[in-house]
Amino acid sequence: MISLPSYARQVLTMLAGTHQSVGTAESLTGGLLCATLVAAPGASSVVRGGIVAYAGDLKVDLLGVPADVIAQHGTVAAATARVMASQARSVLGADWGVAATGVAGPDGSEGQPAGTVHVAVAGPQQVVNQILDLPGDRDAVRAGTVRAALVLLLNEIGPGDAPRYAD
């Protein structure tokens, strides 16, 4: 399996090669997604920044997720992740926005069990999302979320050339 830093280096290489940028919007990962990206050399030419909106009201206030989206779907939802990704792209002035929201555990939240995760990528043409059911403790769920988000991004910026998430 490719490690998280390897995925991050692939993202940075692909984006730098096309003079594009990325921004993140995170909840359950608490900044781990952006931290993984910026740990790789060359990050400053590609990463615009990240917003950690752990609480629902911050998703509204900092990211601009419409309150009715959260009221209707909750914070642990595909619709919320999709808006978070779009807003990361917009608020941070990036070509690509990547978002993650879900339940790291050990307990469930909003009627969703631990390990329920939604990741999304917003790009110039579309917004895509993936729903995950990740096993393990908090650290494993958070790491699996980052891996899935980076692979989803790789699949969008380089279809056919990127690894597929198979864990």
List the chain domain ranges.
Answer: 4-157
Q: Which two tokens stand for residue 155?
A: 């699949």
Q: Could you tell me where the DSSP H helices lie in the chain?
A: 4-17, 32-38, 56-61, 67-73, 78-91, 138-157
Whether the per-residue pLDDT at 80 is higher than 60: the answer is yes
The confidence band for 77, taking pLDDT boundaries of 50, 70 and 90, is: very high
For residues 157 and 163, the answer to whether their CB atoms sit within 8 Å is no
Could you identify the residue written with the tokens 């909750």?
A: 74
Whether the per-residue pLDDT at 161 is higher than 60: the answer is no
Q: What is the pTM of this model?
A: 0.93
Report d(CA 65, CA 95) in Å as an integer: 19
Q: What does the pLDDT look like over 2-57, one tens digit per residue?
A: 688 899 999 999 999 999 999 999 999 999 999 999 999 899 999 999 999 999 99
Axis crossing angle, helix 4-17 with helix 138-157, rounded to the nearest 10: 30
Could you identify the residue written with the tokens 């096993």?
A: 135
The confidence band for 158, taking pLDDT boundaries of 50, 70 and 90, is: confident
Q: Is 39 helix (H, G, I), strand (E, B) or coil?
A: coil
Q: Which strands sit side by side in the sheet containing 22-26, from one edge to the other?
A: 47-52, 22-26, 96-102, 116-122, 127-133
β-partners of residue 49 are 23
Whether the per-residue pLDDT at 159 is higher than 80: the answer is no
The burial of 37, by beta-carbon neighbours within 10 Å (0-12 exposed, 13-18 middle, 19 or more buried), is given as buried
Q: Which amino acid is it at 95?
A: D
Q: What dotted CATH number matches 4-157?
A: 3.90.950.20
